[in-house]
Amino acid sequence: TATPQAMQSTIHGLTAALVAAAKAHDPALTTPTMVPILRGALPMFVAAASLFAATTCVLARCSKKKGTQDVVVEWPGRRPFPAAADEGKLVVLDTLVATGDTLVALCEELWAMSSGRAERSVAVLCCYAAPEALERVAACPVVEYVIVAARAERCDDAGYLVPYTHGDIGDKIYGAAWKGAEQPARPVVAEGEEDVEGVASGVEGLLVRNGGLWTLTDDGLGIEREIRFPSFKKAWAFMQRVAEAAATYRHHPEWSNVYNKVSIRWTTHQPKGLTRLDVQLAQLCDSYCEP
């Protein structure tokens, strides 16, 4: 439930620790050329830039071709090779590394771009990564060393890090993109609700666009969230707690479950719209997901 400001502050702190570890390991790391992978790694660059006497920034954007695992690497500005005479070691920055596909593709492009003359010359700093992905990245011929702030247990079959981050990391860092007319300006509060402003404010505080974990349905009548758990057992325990709360408050969700994934929606049907109970039970769901 962290806000974008809290998420960016967390990344700044992790980056400071990463840079300190990199300097201890590599005393020659003084004026690096940093390559943040957009969009998640921009806060890493912001934090790292102030920790060196001088820095250069080269932006990289990576995406997968629709329907494939093929990664496309784009350079919005200049490319890192050939490097200028006053530029130091290349340092690639990335927030999350799950399968490693994106980072490996970037490192392979750097290797090709250098015509094979940059062997073991690039450092990689990342905040949260799967062990298998780290091994893949470290095996790239261009990579000299990799430093990670926190290791995940693994990457699941769907390509998500475990423990889960519960949502798109970019949306968590920056807030969800505004969808214009597709996104209602305000939630629809059920007719007869006494505290209309209180319910609307409570719903807004839960939404991804405001740093929360829920999204508003297209008609504005409900809020919904998809939650991935480390195991089916934990997903089942969550559903049991929600069912108990629903019975207590006599207000039941619309939901579905596929193995470790739970999709849940809160809305009121009579009268149609959102009520204080929807807000209260969504908040309870969030608390049930906390470690």
Three-state helix/strand/coil letters over 84-95: CCCCCCEEEEEE
Q: What does the pLDDT read at residue 119?
A: 86
In the structure encoding, which two tokens stand for residue 207, read together?
């939404």
Confidence class for position 219, pLDDT limits 50, 70, 90: confident
Instruction: Assign 214 to helix, strand or coil.
Output: strand
Higher pLDDT, 33 or 167: 33
Percentage of the chain exceeding pLDDT 90: 65
Query: How much of the chain, in percent, has pLDDT values that exceed 70?
Result: 95
Nearest to 49, CA basis, from 89, 11, 15, 8? 15
pLDDT of residue 45: 96
What 3 state SS string does 133-170 have? HHHHHHCCCCEEEEEEEEECCEECCCCCEECCCCCCHH
Specify the pLDDT at position 70.
Answer: 84
Q: In this predicted model, what pLDDT tens digit does every residue of 101-110 receive, in sequence order?
A: 999 999 999 9
User: CA–CA separation, 129 vs 279, rounded Å?
Assistant: 34
Q: To which H or E segment does residue 66 belong? A: none
Question: Is residue 183's pLDDT more than 70?
Answer: no
pLDDT tier at 137, thresholds 50, 70, 90: very high
pLDDT category, 37, cuts 50, 70, 90? very high
DSSP state letters, 257-271:
EETTEEEEEEEBTTT
Segment 149-167 mean pLDDT: 86
Give the confidence band of 284 by pLDDT, cuts at 50, 70, 90.
very high
Based on C-alpha coordinates, what's the Rg of the chain?
Answer: 22
Position 156 scores a pLDDT of 87
pLDDT band at 2 (very low <50, low <70, confident <90, very high): confident
Which residues is 162 bridged to in the sheet? 154
Inform me whether the pLDDT recorded for 178 exceeds 80.
Answer: no
Q: Specify the pLDDT at position 94.
A: 95
User: Lowest-pLDDT range, 125-129, 162-166, 184-188?
Assistant: 184-188
Q: Report the candidate in 149, 104, 154 with the shortest Cα–Cα distance to residue 127.
A: 149
- Ordered domains of the chain (ranges, CATH): 4-169 (3.40.50.2020), 178-289 (3.30.1360.20)
Average pLDDT in the chain: 89
Q: Give the SS3 label for residue 9.
A: helix
Q: In this predicted structure, what is the pLDDT of residue 174?
A: 84
* Nearest-angstrom CA–CA distance, 205 and 98: 29
Tell me: pLDDT of 193 over 90.
no
Q: Within a 10 A sphere around the Cβ of 159, how many other Cβ atoms?
A: 11
Residue 180: the pLDDT is 57
Exposure string of 243-254, with b = 16+ CB inside 10 Å and e = fewer, is: eebbeeeebebe
Contact 35, 91 (CB under 8 A): yes
Closest by Cα among 192, 222, 217, 237 to 282: 222
The per-residue pLDDT for 65 is 67
For 242-261, how does the pLDDT look when each residue is reduced to its tens digit (9 = 90+)? Answer: 999 999 999 999 999 998 99
> How wide is the angle at C-alpha 282 spanned by C-alphas 280 and 284, nearest 5°?
70
